[in-house]
Structure 1
Amino acid sequence: MNPYLLEPAHVQHDEYLGTVAAEHDITIHGDDLYEVVGLDRDKWTILGIEFYDGTGPQHGSVDVYAIDREAHDVHSYDRLREIADVDGALPVTHFAVHGVRPEQISQRVFKRYKVQLRSASTADVQLRVEAQGDLQLD
């Protein structure tokens, strides 16, 4: 396999671009991400997670990007930064996770999960909120 850089999220027609934030739910003892995806926490450190969902035959997917701690002698945040500073990137393994849907991760693992999508044509422009409203869907 040829190494490649993990790029920002992309779909066929990038009409909306955005950011996401999430936090683990430690107050009610949410499920451990490593257990949910089946990855050994002592061997691997998850550095990225990717959710995909859409219409058609594909019914959602979860991918994780993790560094092999032993192979790269990573036992601290400082060591991660050192590798990134020297190499310009972190060497990770891409794992396709089977048997779990994207919403299961957010429901089981994260206390809070927020996605913000912006129209691609104005993604680099600040939006100033000057009014508020409500939409009621039945």
Structure 2
Amino acid sequence: MSDERQYLGTATVPYGDWVGTASADTDMVKGRNIYDVTGLDDDTWQIVGLDIMDCCEFPGDVFVYAASKADWQAHRVEQKESLAVTSFLCHDLTMDDIVAGMEQFRVQLRIRAIGDHPMHIVQNADIPEQD
């Protein structure tokens, strides 16, 4: 029997000139969280992933991946089994909306040739130069 499931992979773009990672902290102070931003009911859903695509040629897409609370509570990540999620295409949300719902949001990109090769900073500078 074939596996017809659609699995999520890492973020890719056609040429992948830049690769990297992202990290964010939930906003616990301002009171606006990812559930408020997306409109998903946190009693029904556990948001487990975000996929944000922005392009200069057309409006970007925001996908939210969420598991039902029942599936989430029964799932054990250490089992190495995939988690069943619903992919929500958020038609009225932008990348800015998602970032505004976070306390901190950081993206680090490097050219593909460097990838995750270690780098160390030898000098700090400003553009434009500051007094």
Q: TM-score range by the shorter chain?
A: 0.7 to 0.9
> Any idea what SS the aligned residue of 1:53 has?
strand
> Any idea what SS the aligned residue of 2:83 has?
coil
In structure 1, distance between residues paired with 2:67 and 2:55:
28
Structure 2 residue 107 is the aligned partner of structure 1 residue 115: yes
Task: Please report the TM-score for the alignment, with normalisation by the length of structure 2.
Answer: 0.87
Residue range with higher mean Cα deviation, 17-26 or 86-95: 86-95
Query: What's the offset of the Cα at 1:100?
Result: 1.1
In structure 2, distance between residues paired with 1:119 and 1:7:
20
Pairing 1:85-96 to 2, within 5 Å after superposition: 85-86=78-79, 88-96=81-89
Task: Please report the TM-score for the alignment, with normalisation by the length of structure 1.
Answer: 0.83
- What's the Cα RMSD here? 1.7
How many residue pairs get matched?
Answer: 126
Q: Alpha-carbon deviations, 1:4-26, whole Å to 9, x = none?
A: 22111101110111111111221
In structure 2, distance between residues paired with 1:67 and 1:48:
9
Pairing 1:51-66 to 2, within 5 Å after superposition: 51-56=52-57, 58-66=58-66
Structure ranking higher in strand proportion: 2
* Percentage identity across paired residues of the two chains: 27
Structure 1's consecutive aligned runs of 4 or more residues displaced over 4 angstroms after TM superposition are none
95, 99, 104: which one pairs with 1:106? 99
Pairing 1:41-52 to 2, within 5 Å after superposition: 41-52=42-53
- Structure 2 unmatched ranges of 5 or more: none
Structure 2 equivalent of residue 34 of structure 1? 35
In structure 1, distance between residues paired with 2:67 and 2:121:
40
1, 5, 19: which one pairs with 1:3? 5
Structure 1's 104 and 89: CA in aligned 2 closer, same or farther, altered over 3 A? same
Does structure 1 conserve the Cα–Cα contact (< 8 Å) formed by 2:50 and 2:64? yes
- Structure 1 unmatched ranges of 5 or more: none
State the AA in 1 paired with 2:27: D
